[in-house]
Amino acid sequence: LLSANTAFAFPSWIGNCCSHTDRVTTGTIYAGDLVTFEIVMNQDYVGLGARVAIDSGGGFSDNDMSYGGNDSGNSWWQYQQRFNAGTKTFYFYGWETWSGDTIYDSNGGSNYSVTVTALSNPSSTSATADSGSQITVSWTKWNSKNVMVVRSTDASFTAPTGGTSYAVDATIGGDTVIYNGSGTSVADTGLSTGTTYYYKLYSVNNDYYSAGDEVNATTSASTPSITIDSSTSATAADFTTTYGTASSAQTFSIAGGNLTASITATAGTGFEVSSDGSSYSS
């Protein structure tokens, strides 16, 4: 539990504000860390309340603080929240629950602030096509944080929403979550041949996310084949095929009629095959 901000205030019983002391502790707070706001007031009676007003960029919002108990006549209050990265401004105040009147305001014309640091992305990210239907995505975790992997076919990603949990097979802006866990790789299976897939990898901290790092890979093209009608009476013929885009050489065969051949083609290379089984690069 991170105690990011602790404030001690000493208001009068009711009415005008009095002298007070506020203390704010510092430390590195990452997006998704639990930030604890605390206030101690030198009064403890029925009808006393405490709030913290927080501005995360869209204006101040009031948050009721929970009563933590009595300590030598003082009352202790606490509020906890997780945030996305950025600077958050805030102030405390005590108030009368029956009248709504503020009896203490720590603002004094100047707000406090706390900086929430963005998560770093996973490192050493890679995507490798294993076949025409599988790509393996790998990474090194940052700060031992879990990793979420999202797949896209158009290289356009929608950022995940901080504070929202995404399970495998969930969609974010039409893209699919294929992994969310503590490992360092995932095999993405059931893919289409000869297709480029894009992946974005996010560090995850309590359902808050880093900006993401992108990798991509292209699955192997399908193995080409030619079948010649066995009823043909041709004694010689030329046939051409283009192997297409592939990660490695593959072997395919041509058979039928008077033709028989077995050919190993390299990626992107076309071949012509004659009826005697000979071949050459086109």
Q: Tokens 């995850």 — which residue?
A: 204
Q: How far apart are the first and last CA of the chain?
A: 68
Q: Which of 41-50, 117-126, 216-225, 231-240 has the highest mean pLDDT?
A: 117-126
Of residues 91, 90, 94, 88, the one with CA closest to residue 67: 94
C-alpha 127: how far from chain center: 17
Mean pLDDT of 232-237: 45
pLDDT digits (tens, 9 = 90+) for 152-162: 999 999 999 99
- Separation of alpha carbons 194 and 220, rounded Å: 5
Three-state SS for 60-82 is EEEEECEEEEEECCEEEEEEEEE
Mean pLDDT of 198-208: 98
